[in-house]
Structure 1
């Protein structure tokens, strides 16, 4: 199984919740990722590329491989901070 996902990683739940509201109002995921994400993937608009189960931290892995595709999930807490995750496809 593999999937393609993007994410935004920030330090606080409040920051993630604020970005979630902006995304829900229609702001572009990749633009907000480039501006706010602390993950190196932010430079690529949050693009994690094609991933397989077990490649990412467990909590993010579960979102990518078990939650609905095409919607934004989060804030999701990991040891790195708070994530907003969007899964584009999974097969």
Structure 2
């Protein structure tokens, strides 16, 4: 079963996610922005979700984590929880 290690930032609006993605493109650190802005409990760990298997996250999230290049920031991606920026650190 495939597994991955990912970070994410969860916010309420697409506009917030896009503003944070712009800050990341300008050199902001993912973990710092996650700690400050993410609504997920993982925020206190810099958005770190640890390692998880395919199917443990909602389908839209899995699609990014298991289908897009690692180490890039992807999103904004909408789920029932809000808008995510997702960075996959590794996959196996």
CA distance in 2, matches of 1:24, 1:52: 28
Q: Partners in 2 of 1:70 and 1:81 — Cα distance?
A: 22
> Residue 38 of structure 1 aligns with which residue?
39
Q: Which runs of 5+ in 1 are unaligned?
A: none
Question: Matched residues in 2 for 1:24 and 1:74: separation?
Answer: 13
* Aligned-residue CA RMSD (Å): 0.5
In the other structure, the counterpart of 1:28 is 29
Give the deviation of 1:7 after TM superposition. Answer: 0.1
Structure 1 residue 15: deviation in Å?
Answer: 0.3
Count of aligned pairs: 91
| TM-score between both structures, scaled by the size of structure 1 | 0.98
Instruction: Give me the whole-angstrom Cα distance separating, in 2, the residues matched to 1:75 and 1:20.
Output: 8
Unaligned runs of 5+ in 2: none
Say whether 1:64 aligns with 2:65. Answer: yes
Moved over 4 A (4+): none
Render the CA deviation track for 1:22-51: whole Å, top value 9, x for unaligned.
001110000000000000001100000001
